[in-house]
Amino acid sequence: MTTLLEVLGWFFVVVAIGVLIFGVVSRAEPAIFLPATISGAIAGLGMVAIAQVIEALVVTAESAERSEQHLQTLVELMTKTDESKHP
């Protein structure tokens, strides 16, 4: 599942690569385009990383909730089985 934060992060990375290519092709002074390229790429990758962590936390929480429900169902079934053996 791709989130808006992740899309925005990859957009920043693509723009940073575009700035780098434009700076090299136009033979601009590296002091002008390199800081923008580096900071844009770091910001974009940071956003992607944050989006991935959030997604992992959500998936973990959903998985834990399902596991708890399965465990509760198993306990109920075991209790019913015990009650049927010992009325």
For the full predicted model, state whether its pTM sits above 0.75.
no
Whether the Cβ atoms of residue 64 and residue 26 lie closer than 8 Å to each other: no
Tell me the C-alpha to C-alpha distance, in Å, between residue 39 and each of 15, 22, 32, 72. Answer: 11, 16, 12, 49
What does the angle CA 64 – CA 69 – CA 72 come to, to the nearest 5 degrees? 125
Give the pLDDT of the chain (87 residues) as one tens digit per residue: 678 888 889 999 999 888 888 888 888 888 887 888 888 889 999 999 998 898 888 888 888 888 888 888 888 888 876 666 665
